[in-house]
Amino acid sequence: MAVPIAVLDCDLLLYGRGHRTLDRFKLEDVTDEYLVSTYGFPRQFIYYLVDLLGATLSRPTQRSRAISPETQILAALGFYTSGSFQTRMGDAIGISQASMSRCVANVTEALVERASQFIHFPEDEATVQSLKDDFYGLAGMPGVLGVVDCTHVAIKAPNAEDLSYVNRKGLHSLNCLMVCDARGVLLSAETHWPGSLPDCTVLEQAALTSQFETELRKDGWLLGDSSFLLRTWLMTPLHIPETPAEYRYNMAHSATHNVIERTFRTIRSRFRCLDGSKGTLQYSPEKSSHIILACCVLHNISLEHGLDVWSSPSTGHMEQPEEEYEQMESVDSEACRIRQELLLTHFS
């Protein structure tokens, strides 16, 4: 009797019933050192992800329904932290490269579904004040609600709209707009912008701008570098500081804004699939954007669990072109007034 090919599992075909199958791999069977070295995270963190994502990853409609949530999460973490679908990664948990790819897709979408749960600005007054206090403690810059900047992540050339993803270095990339707090926790992450767009254009079109301008927040501002325009809610450095107060303002601004650069280095160091050392993300722009966002969610969860990697060295493979821009003078008189008042009140 012929067996319908649709019921055959690729892992069963590859390895047979005697292979160490997916559900036989147990976290209890390996050491903490092995988990960290292979998957980038300790046991309790992985257990937390199983609890968080387990119900979603067990949905019977998914193609990988036979693969346990635990195994899917290990496969995805292995890819995020190594940037590779190498056979040895699949062999470690007993799945094929094709199944590895499906696991990464499933876990990525499950994390993206929860992005708003883990990446957001605080709303209660006490938390907002604590946010400002943390920033003020860095370099004496008052009223800071977050620091904002863009970073590029290399992707393969897409089939459509090819030129829109070519950045200034001639590489295909996504330009990702992010905001973080003083600890490096992400408060906003928009990972879908084409690499050809300069930072100022990304911000102009971003949901972040709509959020701040619609809410008309009077309780503070973001800090951005000189690639952005000065706004009432976004303080930028002075182009040519002249007075001692202006120099002090620029120094405090630079020291505070540096947090976002350290955050970018941390994310790339932990999630090697983003750093370019293993090549570009081999997905469409949409799927690549989701992978980046999934890593951002994991970054915040890891900080919640005390897994701070501020001290991790840069990998040296950042696909982030240096912005070439003309200094833009703001025509927003109210924004200029606010910055001048800040200079007089806190830096004179």
**Predicted local distance difference test score (pLDDT) of residue 11:** 43
**Predicted local distance difference test score (pLDDT) of residue 310:** 53
- Tokens 């160490």 belong to which residue? 20
Name beta bridge partners: 148. Answer: 179
Rounded CA separation 70/23 (Å)? 9
Q: If we measure between CA atoms, which residue out of 322, 285, 47, 65 comes closest to residue 168?
A: 322
Rounded CA separation 211/206 (Å)? 9
Rounded CA separation 158/284 (Å)? 6
- Tokens 């890819």 belong to which residue? 79
Q: Are residues 205 and 83 in the same domain?
A: no
Q: Are residues 45 and 174 in the same domain?
A: no
Q: If we measure between CA atoms, which residue out of 55, 115, 90, 169 comes closest to residue 294?
A: 115
Q: Does residue 322 lie within any of the structural domains?
A: no
pLDDT, tens only, 135-188? 999 999 999 999 999 999 999 998 876 789 999 999 999 999 999 999 999 999
**Predicted local distance difference test score (pLDDT) of residue 9:** 43
Identify the band that residue 277 occupies on the pLDDT scale cut at 50, 70 and 90. Answer: confident
Q: Are residues 129 and 227 in the same domain?
A: yes
**Predicted local distance difference test score (pLDDT) of residue 195:** 95
- Helices 43-57/32-39 angle, 10° precision: 60
Q: Are residues 86 and 42 in the same domain?
A: yes
- Tokens 């209890």 belong to which residue? 28
The answer on pLDDT for 19 being more than 60 is: no
Global pTM exceeds 0.95: no
What is the extent of the structural domain holding 97? 22-58+66-113
Distances (CA, A) of 200 to 197, 210, 215, 268: 8, 14, 21, 23
